[in-house]
Amino acid sequence: MIRSASKNAAARRESVLAMILILIGSLTVFVPIAYLVSDSLSSRETLRQQPKPLLPSESYVVTIDGAQCFVYDIEVNGQSRKLAVVEKKGSTWVYANPDDPAERYELGACSVEQRARKITLHWENFGLALQKAPFLRYVANTLVIMVLVTIGTVLSTVMVAFGFARFKFKGSKTLFLILLATMMLPSQVVLIPTFVFFKWIGWYDTFLPLIVPAFFANAWDVFLIRQFFMGIPKELDEAAKIDGCDPLRTLWSVILPQALPVVLTVTLFTMIYVWNDFFNPLIYLQNPKLFTVAVGLQNFSALYFNNAHLQAAGALMMMLPPVLIFFLAQRYFIQGTVVSGVKG
């Protein structure tokens, strides 16, 4: 009895310690994103403060007697007040109460750091970023590529996965091993001839080199879907065969309805891959009108190097769609990653 009580206490201590470490660790995820959000709502001036405030705040002016006067945090008779400077007489400044300009004080000068700040959110940064670069066009380009790549990937990988899951013939094992080996192949080794080939047939600076290869099945998704198909009882196939279904029909009306989760996983992974892919659009697209979001954002960040607030606004807009999709469908992502990692 006593022993199990002390064991429980130890387990509880362990779990509290784990929780503390997890909370600290999660800060490393939250803080960078919080700063991205904060930067995207800041003015350029706010970003030049050390430490940069997480809530964007700025000094502000009030109008007194037709003049713009900065408001300062200043101590008057032991009380902290917000007063506007209406006149500077050398080292003596004249301060006025913004709510009652007749209430004036003559006190010592203040430094810029003593200016009062209030929270100011620059929502217009998003509009400005959209104006400075055609992000909506980039989004449209990316969506066109994404839809076609997703269709191609799903069609081809489902077919090939079915072929590997259900047909055994001489050499089928070797072919599957070759498929697995291509997962390990560094893509650079095929990159240059593929590029030369696409350029040669006139597809350079079009979407085609980004879309067409998707119709030829990639090893990762084939493997993922095949694993799923292997788990579907073969008796279902045989029953369909007795009913006179050919394999294509069996795939379509018996296997696929069972395999919707894995098809959804592949669809989601593909969509996010296309949205985030930087390297392929970078080498195949030259005309800025054809840029995808990733290339467009990178280009924008190089052009507006000194506008960190606009870069943050652009980056946030680009980050939101995949993150939202991820949160809505996270269990499909996690299952997909697990199958390719653990069973692989």
Per-residue binder mask for other proteins (CB under 8 A), 243-262, x = binder? ---xxx--x-----------
Pick the stretch among 65-73, 74-82, 254-262, 270-278 that binds other proteins (CB under 8 A).
270-278
249: amino acid identity, one letter? R
User: Contact 318/277 with Cβ under 8 angstroms?
Assistant: no
Angle CA 329–333–339, to nearest 5: 145
Q: Tell me how far CA of residue 234 lies from CA of 91, 93, 156, 231, 255, in angstroms.
A: 91, 89, 22, 9, 10
Q: Which of 43, 59, 182, 267 binds other proteins (CB under 8 A)?
A: 182
Pick the stretch among 56-64, 97-105, 113-121, 184-192 that binds other proteins (CB under 8 A).
184-192
Kindly state whether residue 337 participates in binding other proteins, applying the rule CB under 8 A.
Answer: yes
Kindly state whether residue 303 participates in binding other proteins, applying the rule CB under 8 A.
Answer: no
Kindly state whether residue 27 participates in binding other proteins, applying the rule CB under 8 A.
Answer: no
The 3-state DSSP composition of the chain as helix, strand, coil percent (nearest 5) reads 65, 15, 20
Kindly state whether residue 120 participates in binding other proteins, applying the rule CB under 8 A.
Answer: no
In 216-278, alpha helices (H): 219-230, 234-242, 247-250, 256-258, 260-276
Pick the stretch among 65-73, 83-91, 179-187, 232-240 that binds other proteins (CB under 8 A).
179-187
User: Contact 216/156 with Cβ under 8 angstroms?
Assistant: yes
Pick the stretch among 73-81, 84-92, 194-202, 223-231 that binds other proteins (CB under 8 A).
194-202
The residues pairing with 79 across neighbouring beta strands, listed in sequence order, are: 76
| Shortest Cβ 89–other proteins spacing (Å) | 34
Kindly state whether residue 287 participates in binding other proteins, applying the rule CB under 8 A.
Answer: no
Kindly state whether residue 193 participates in binding other proteins, applying the rule CB under 8 A.
Answer: yes
User: Contact 71/84 with Cβ under 8 angstroms?
Assistant: yes
Q: Tell me how far CA of residue 171 lies from CA of 6, 181, 220, 243, in angstroms.
A: 60, 15, 20, 30
Kindly state whether residue 25 participates in binding other proteins, applying the rule CB under 8 A.
Answer: yes
| Shortest Cβ 127–other proteins spacing (Å) | 19
Cα–Cα dist 263/252, whole Å: 13
Applying the rule CB under 8 A, the residues between 138 and 157 that interact with other proteins are 155-156
| Shortest Cβ 55–other proteins spacing (Å) | 14
Tokens of 253: 């009306």
DSSP string, 37-68: HHHHTS-TTGGGSSSPPSS-EEE-EEEETTEE
Output 155 or 239, the one with its CB closest to other proteins. Answer: 155
Cis previous bond, 51, omega within 30: yes
| Shortest Cβ 229–other proteins spacing (Å) | 11
Q: Which of 147, 180, 191, 260 binds other proteins (CB under 8 A)?
A: 191
User: Contact 153/225 with Cβ under 8 angstroms?
Assistant: no
Q: Which of 199, 231, 234, 288 binds other proteins (CB under 8 A)?
A: 199
Q: Which of 6, 8, 15, 63 binds other proteins (CB under 8 A)?
A: 15
| Shortest Cβ 257–other proteins spacing (Å) | 18
| Shortest Cβ 98–other proteins spacing (Å) | 30
Q: Which of 79, 188, 287, 306 binds other proteins (CB under 8 A)?
A: 188
